[in-house]
Amino acid sequence: MGDARPATAPVLVAGGGWAGLSAALTLCRHQVPVILVESARQLGGRARSVRSGERILDNGQHLMIGAYQALLTLMKQIGIDVDAAFQRLPLTLQLYRDDAVSLRFRAPTLPAPFHLLGALSAARGLSASERLRALRFSRKVTQLRISAAEDFSVQALLHSHAQSPGLVRKLWEPLCLASLNTPIDLASARLFTRVLQTLFSGSRPDSDLLIPRQELNALLPRPAGEFLEDHGAGVELGQRLTGLEIDAQAIRGAIVGGRRLAASHVILATPHSITRRLLSRHPVLQPLAARLGELGHEPIATVYLQYPPEIALDPIMVGLESGLAQWVFDRRCGGQPGLIAAVISGRGPHQRLPATTLIDAVVAQLKEHFPHWPPPLERRLIREKRATFCARAGIDTWRPANRTPVAGLWLAGDYTATDLPATLEGAVRSGNQCALQLMQSLSETNVVNWVDAHP
Ligand SMILES: Cc1cc2nc3c(=O)[nH]c(=O)nc-3n(C[C@H](O)[C@H](O)[C@H](O)COP(=O)(O)OP(=O)(O)OC[C@H]3O[C@@H](n4cnc5c(N)ncnc54)[C@H](O)[C@@H]3O)c2cc1C
C-alpha cells in the first residue's frame, strides 16, 4: 500500500467520463503533467450527448441539485458561468395519477430546514396524517447514522418509520428511484438517508433543482477537454487502455491503443466492469477485482418524444404514479421546445420489451396523463443497461477507495467510496479526491508540494 514515487512521466488517466475529467483537471490545474486517454471518440462517458439525425440528444436526462458542490466548483474553476449553465428551481415534486395531479410539493423560499418542512406541511395530495408522518420522518432522518455493515432496505426504513403505503408510493418511492436508481425493496437505507440529509439538513439552495440549459457535452466534457489542451495536457480520443504493466507491486506503464506507455501513476477512471477486467489479470489485484464484481448494475431507459413546440410541462419535471416511465421532463429549458424525455429508472420487465413496443407503451402512458397532447412527431429510445451500480443495501461495504494495493495505480469513478449514489457529483468528487491523494503521495518525496503550491 501507499506510494511515494515522483511522477517521472505524465500521470495517465484512462477514461474521459466526469470522474476522469475531474481527476485530469485537478492535476492539470496543479501543473502535474497529465495525459487523458478515452476509448470513445468523445468525452463525457455516461453523461454525454449523442447525435440523432439532425438533433443532439443527451444519452439520458440528467438532473443536478444545488448540493452538487464538487461539480459546481469544478465548473467554476475552469471558467464556466454556472448561473448561465443551469436554470435553478426550488425543489418541486408534482405527480400525476391518470390525468389529475395527485401530489404537489414545492419548497417555499424559507431558510433550511423550514423550506422543506413547509413544503411537506403544505403538500397537496397527502392527508393530514400522511403529512404528519412525513414531517416526523424527515426530522428523524437527519439524525440517522446507518453503518455500511448494518445497512438495510429503504422499504424497511420507511416501514419502521410508519410511512403509509400512499406516502411511500407518492413521495418516497419516486425520490428513491430518482436518486438511487434502485427499487425500494433492494435500495440502501444508508445511501437514501444520505440523500435525504443533503436535502433536509443542507442550506436552502442545496435542494434547488439545477436544469442544464445546454446539452451535456457543452456543460462539462467539451469545455473540460478544451481547458486540458489549452493548459498542456494530452487528450487522446479513440484510445483504449487494454493492459496494465505491474512489477514488484508498482505500476510501470500501460498498453494504450496497442502502444506501451511508461507511467509511474495511472488513474483508472473506467466503468467498474471494465476496471474489474483490467485488474483481474494481476494476482495482487484479484481481491479488489472480486469486490468490484459485487457492485452490479441498474439500467435507465429514456424515451425521447418530439411533440409540436407548444406542448409543454409545468413544472418542467413531473412524476407519473403508474405506467412504465416514472419521470417526464420538458427539454424546453435546454433549447428544445416540444421535446419530452420520459425516464424509466431501474430494472423491470420493460427491459425485455422490443424498442417499438416500449416506445408505444410510453406514448400511450403519456396520452393517459395528458389526453390533449397530439401524437409525437418523432420518437427515440436510448437504453443504458449499465447506467449505475446497484445501490442495494450493504453496497458500501464493497465500494473501493481511490488507492489500490499497487503503488501508483489509482481508481476514480462514481462507484468508489464517495458516500453518494452513482451521480455526477459522486464521479466528480471521486476524481478530485483521487487526484489530491495522488498529488499528496508525490509531495511526500518531491520538493514541490502540489497541493499547497496551487490552492
Ligand atoms: C441515463 C442516465 C441518467 C442518469 N441520470 C443522472 C442524473 O440525473 N443525475 C446524476 O447526478 N447522475 C445521473 N446519472 C449517473 C451519471 O451519469 C454517472 O454517475 C456518471 O456519468 C459516471 O461518471 P464516471 O466518470 O464515473 O463513469 P463513466 O461516465 O462511465 O466514464 C468512464 C469512461 O471510461 C471510458 N472507457 C471505458 N473503457 C475504457 C478503456 N479501456 N480505456 C479508456 N477509456 C475507457 C468510457 O468510454 C467512459 O467515457 C445517469 C446515468 C445515466 C446512464
Q: What is the pLDDT of residue 446?
A: 55
For ligand 1, whether the C-beta of 62 sits within 6 Å is yes
Q: What is the pLDDT of residue 334?
A: 87
Domain co-membership, 415 together with 284: yes
Whole-number Å distance, alpha carbon 269 to ligand 1 midpoint, is 10
For ligand 1, whether the C-beta of 120 sits within 6 Å is no
Whole-number Å distance, alpha carbon 445 to ligand 1 midpoint, is 34
> Is residue 68 in some structural domain?
no
> Is residue 70 in some structural domain?
no
Query: Between vectors from CA 185 to CA 146 and to CA 395, what angle results, nearest 5°?
Result: 45
Q: What is the pLDDT of residue 445?
A: 56
Domain co-membership, 279 together with 241: yes
The percentage of the chain sitting over the pLDDT mark of 90, rounded to a whole number, equals: 81
- The pLDDT-based confidence of 109 (bands split at 50, 70, 90) is confident
For ligand 1, whether the C-beta of 388 sits within 6 Å is yes
Domain co-membership, 198 together with 323: no
Q: What is the pLDDT of residue 8?
A: 56
Q: What is the pLDDT of residue 380?
A: 96
Question: For 280-326, how does the pLDDT look when each residue is reduced to its tens digit (9 = 90+)?
Answer: 999 999 999 999 999 999 999 999 999 999 999 999 999 998 899 99
328 CB burial (10 A radius; 0-12, 13-18, 19+): buried
> Is residue 76 in some structural domain?
no
Domain co-membership, 110 together with 181: yes
Q: What backbone phi and psi angles, to 5 degrees, belong to 245?
A: -105, 115
Question: For 370-416, how does the pLDDT look when each residue is reduced to its tens digit (9 = 90+)?
Answer: 999 999 999 999 999 999 999 999 999 999 999 999 999 999 999 99
280 CB burial (10 A radius; 0-12, 13-18, 19+): middle
| 275-281 contacts, C-beta under 8 A, 24 or more apart | 275/411, 275/413, 278/241, 278/243, 278/244, 279/244, 279/404, 281/243, 281/244
Cα–Cα distance for residue pair 127/343, rounded to 1 Å: 28
- The pLDDT-based confidence of 92 (bands split at 50, 70, 90) is confident
Q: Which of 174, 207, 240 is the last residue of a domain?
A: 207
Give the closest residue (by CA) to ligand 1 atom 34.
15
Contact between 138 and 195 under an 8 Å Cβ cutoff? The reply is no
Q: Which of 119-133, 186-200, 214-228 has the lowest mean pLDDT?
A: 119-133
Contact between 329 and 313 under an 8 Å Cβ cutoff? The reply is yes
Whole-number Å distance, alpha carbon 412 to ligand 1 midpoint, is 11
Domain co-membership, 18 together with 157: no
Domain co-membership, 45 together with 151: no
Q: What is the pLDDT of residue 340?
A: 97
The residue-averaged pLDDT of 74-102 equals 92
Ligand 1 pocket test target in 22, 38, 46 with most atoms within 8 Å of CB = 46
Cα–Cα distance for residue pair 174/154, rounded to 1 Å: 12
Reading the block at residue 203, the C-alpha cell is 442550506
CA distance to 45, 74, 104, 400, per residue, from 269 (Å): 10, 17, 40, 13
In which element (H, E) is residue 436 found?
Answer: helix 424-443
For ligand 1, whether the C-beta of 344 sits within 6 Å is no
**Helix and strand element counts for the chain (H, E):** 16, 20
CATH number at residue 318: 3.90.660.20
DSSP-derived secondary structure letter, 257:
T
For ligand 1, whether the C-beta of 37 sits within 6 Å is yes
The percentage of the chain sitting over the pLDDT mark of 70, rounded to a whole number, equals: 96
Q: Is the pLDDT of residue 208 over 70?
A: yes
> Is residue 81 in some structural domain?
no
Whole-number Å distance, alpha carbon 115 to ligand 1 midpoint, is 32
Domain co-membership, 306 together with 170: no
Q: Which of 184, 207, 230 is the last residue of a domain?
A: 207
Q: Which of 129-133, 153-157, 159-163, 190-194 has the lowest mean pLDDT?
A: 129-133
For ligand 1, whether the C-beta of 413 sits within 6 Å is yes
Give the closest residue (by CA) to ligand 1 atom 15.
423
Q: The domain containing residue 368 runs over which residues? A: 298-388
Query: Between vectors from CA 325 to CA 319 and to CA 326, what angle results, nearest 5°?
Result: 30
Give the closest residue (by CA) to ligand 1 atom 1.
60
Whole-number Å distance, alpha carbon 108 to ligand 1 midpoint, is 33
Q: What is the pLDDT of residue 6?
A: 47
Q: What is the pLDDT of residue 3?
A: 44
For ligand 1, whether the C-beta of 85 sits within 6 Å is no
Distance of CA 177 to the CA centre of its chain: 13
Cα–Cα distance for residue pair 214/129, rounded to 1 Å: 42
- The pLDDT-based confidence of 453 (bands split at 50, 70, 90) is very low
- The pLDDT-based confidence of 5 (bands split at 50, 70, 90) is very low
Domain co-membership, 323 together with 380: yes
Q: Which of 143, 174, 207 is the last residue of a domain?
A: 207
For ligand 1, whether the C-beta of 15 sits within 6 Å is yes
> Is residue 98 in some structural domain?
no
Reading the block at residue 191, the C-alpha cell is 445511501
Give the closest residue (by CA) to ligand 1 atom 52.
387
CATH number at residue 194: 1.10.3110
Domain co-membership, 291 together with 149: no
Domain co-membership, 138 together with 179: yes
Give the closest residue (by CA) to ligand 1 atom 31.
17
For ligand 1, whether the C-beta of 24 sits within 6 Å is no
- Per DSSP, the residues of 401-422 read PSB-SSBTEEE-STTSS-SS-S
Nearest C-alpha neighbor of 294 from the set 398, 396, 191: 398
Q: What is the pLDDT of residue 162?
A: 96
Ligand 1 pocket test target in 35, 48, 62, 240 with most atoms within 8 Å of CB = 62
Q: Is the pLDDT of residue 451 over 60?
A: no
Q: What is the pLDDT of residue 2?
A: 40
Domain co-membership, 234 together with 180: no
The contacts of residue 451 (CB under 8 Å, 6+ apart) are 30, 436, 439, 440, 443
The contacts of residue 222 (CB under 8 Å, 6+ apart) are 43
Reading the block at residue 153, the C-alpha cell is 432496505
Cis ω for the linkage preceding 455 (within 30 of 0) = no
> Is residue 130 in some structural domain?
yes
For ligand 1, whether the C-beta of 82 sits within 6 Å is no
Whole-number Å distance, alpha carbon 391 to ligand 1 midpoint, is 15
Cα–Cα distance for residue pair 269/253, rounded to 1 Å: 16
**Total domain count for the chain?**
3
> Is residue 74 in some structural domain?
no
Higher-confidence position of 99 and 48: 48
Domain co-membership, 311 together with 236: no
Whole-number Å distance, alpha carbon 41 to ligand 1 midpoint, is 14
Reading the block at residue 350, the C-alpha cell is 420493460
For ligand 1, whether the C-beta of 423 sits within 6 Å is yes
> Is residue 348 in some structural domain?
yes
Residues forming beta bridges with residue 36, ordered by sequence position: 13, 235
CATH number at residue 238: 3.50.50.60
Cα–Cα distance for residue pair 52/238, rounded to 1 Å: 20
Whole-number Å distance, alpha carbon 432 to ligand 1 midpoint, is 15
